[in-house]
């Protein structure tokens, strides 16, 4: 192959990747324009709910999302991944509108259940749809870079939306929630108009001939058993514990800062800045993947989370802010790298189902994390409760040590580009 041919092939792959990713980038912006995200805890307190009730709502939404992951993943593989995303986003939009229209806690419980189902419809389906479209174009080699940009756009948009949400709230909570719901509906319109549908039957990495067809798993459960190496299972649990630390930490930092003397305006700015940091840092994911690798990045992320929680326990508002802004972005790099590993490890035919099973574990752990952290903050105070919760990422780090030092294999298969299959 000549240098010119190689460059031409690379350019063709880049063009193919861009044709896939452009509508996804627009979708990332619109689906993350959630203006209530940085102040919704304050909204719930404004409705008269206690920290325990808020924690229960957040626990409920993730537990329901986790339980719904399995059926919605199967539906996404059989009916369509784009259809599953559309249903989920519309359902979330409707629940947001319902929340701003009510102040009854039992109504909120129902709406958060609905929102959890909507999250499950989206979870797994969006990544599966993007990855399989790249497989079709033979462009999966650039997935880490593409996913980091997708994450960056979504997270930076969230940061902007949080700042705007804090300003819009001065007029009314209704404007904040209606604007968020409208953006989710627009995201669905873009997805339907610009992104082709893919079902599990359209899988491109398992379109095999002859005897190889015998090895194609008929169900997602059999496929999971085939790919579930001990190292992969450990990665799923450790990643879940990382998210079970990071997600409640970001949300309850609102309460911690407020208790430490920060006003609502400052809280919204800090949380927004955290989203900016969390959005920009993943752009380093491709470089981190090549130079360091996920095996080392995982324990580094867990250690930074433990340090951040410990510093928040000092009760000093500016120390809490500094720790939050400096350390919150590092786990986002890990999330991108782990996402790539998991996509490489599972087959296309059941990708949405398998990723939903993985998301189920993460959702259960996140929901439990909300409940534990909320209980600790109610019983020990927000600052001490945060510091005590540092035990969770430290535990996850201990679980990861065997994989780190033994070099156990996580991936069981590697996606082949479409042009390689043809050859």
- Is there a contact between 415 and 344 (Cβ–Cβ < 8 Å)? yes
Residue 184 has pLDDT above 60, yes or no: yes
Q: How many residues appear in the chain? A: 423
Query: What whole-number distance in Å separates Cα of residue 373 and Cα of residue 388?
Result: 9
Give the gyration radius of the chain's Cα atoms: 21
Residue 23: both structure tokens together: 């509508």
Most confident of 67-81, 85-99, 169-183: 85-99
**CB-CB contact of 373 with 312 (8 Å):** no
147 close to 340: Cβ distance less than 8 angstroms = yes
What pLDDT is attached to residue 14?
59
Determine the average pLDDT of the residues in 9-20.
61
**Mind listing the pLDDT tens digit for each residue in 380-395?**
888 898 899 999 999 9
Residue 216 has pLDDT above 50, yes or no: no
Q: CA 401 from chain center: how many Å?
A: 24
Residue 93 has pLDDT above 90, yes or no: yes
Residue 146: per-residue pLDDT: 81
Whether the Cβ atoms of residue 353 and residue 282 lie closer than 8 Å to each other? no
CA torsion sign for 392, 394, 395, 401 is positive
Least confident window among 98-107, 279-288, 414-423: 414-423
Residue 219 phi, psi (nearest 5) = -130, 160
331-355: per-residue pLDDT in tens? 878 887 877 777 777 666 656 667 7
Query: Which residue would you say has higher pLDDT here, 419 or 260?
Result: 260
pLDDT: is 203 or 131 the higher one?
131
- Secondary structure of 325-356 in HEC code, one letter for each residue: HHHCCHHHHHHHHHHHHHHHHCCHHHHHHHHH
Say whether pLDDT at 205 is over 90. no
Summarize pLDDT for 105-156 with one digit per residue, the tens. Answer: 899 999 999 998 998 888 777 777 887 788 777 767 777 778 778 878 887 7
């Amino acid at each position: 192959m000549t240098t010119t041919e190689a460059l031409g092939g690379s350019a063709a792959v880049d063009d193919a990747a861009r044709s896939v990713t452009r509508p996804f980038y627009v979708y990332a912006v619109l689906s993350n324009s959630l203006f209530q995200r940085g102040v919704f805890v304050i909204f719930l307190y404004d409705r008269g709910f206690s920290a325990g009730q808020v924690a229960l709502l957040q626990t409920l939404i993730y537990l329901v999302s986790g339980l719904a992951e399995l059926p919605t993943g199967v539906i996404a593989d059989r009916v369509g991944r784009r259809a599953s995303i559309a249903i989920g986003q519309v359902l979330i939009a409707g629940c947001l509108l319902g929340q701003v229209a009510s102040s009854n806690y039992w109504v909120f419980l129902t709406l958060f259940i609905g929102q959890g189902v909507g999250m499950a419809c989206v979870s797994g389906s969006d990544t599966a749809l993007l990855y399989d479209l790249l497989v079709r174009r033979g462009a999966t080699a650039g997935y880490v870079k593409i996913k980091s940009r997708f994450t960056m756009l979504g997270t930076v948009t969230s940061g902007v939306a949080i700042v705007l949400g804090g300003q819009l709230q001065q007029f009314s909570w209704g404007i904040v929630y209606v604007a968020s719901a409208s953006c989710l509906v627009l995201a669905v319109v873009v997805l339907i108009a610009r992104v082709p549908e893919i079902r599990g039957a359209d899988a491109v990495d398992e379109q095999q001939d002859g005897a190889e067809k015998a090895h194609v798993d008929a169900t997602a459960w059999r496929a999971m058993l085939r790919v579930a190496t001990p190292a992969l299972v450990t990665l799923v649990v450790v990643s879940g514990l990382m998210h079970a630390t990071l997600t409640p930490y970001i949300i309850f930092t609102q309460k911690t800062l407020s208790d430490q003397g920060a006003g609502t305006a400052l809280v919204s700015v800090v949380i927004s800045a955290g989203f900016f940091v969390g959005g920009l840092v993943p752009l380093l994911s491709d470089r981190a993947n090549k130079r360091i690798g996920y095996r080392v990045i995982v324990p580094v992320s867990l250690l930074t989370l433990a340090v951040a929680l410990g510093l928040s326990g000092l009760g000093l508002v500016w120390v809490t802010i500094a720790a939050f802004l400096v350390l919150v972005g590092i786990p986002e790099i890990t999330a991108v790298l782990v996402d790539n590993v998991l996509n490489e490890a599972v087959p296309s035919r059941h990708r949405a189902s398998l990723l939903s099973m993985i998301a189920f574990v993460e959702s259960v752990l996140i929901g439990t994390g909300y409940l534990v952290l909320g209980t600790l903050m109610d019983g020990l105070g927000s600052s001490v409760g945060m510091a005590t919760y540092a035990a969770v990422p430290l535990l996850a780090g201990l679980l990861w040590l065997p994989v780190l030092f033994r070099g156990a294999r996580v991936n069981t298969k590697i996606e082949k580009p479409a042009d390689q299959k043809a050859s």
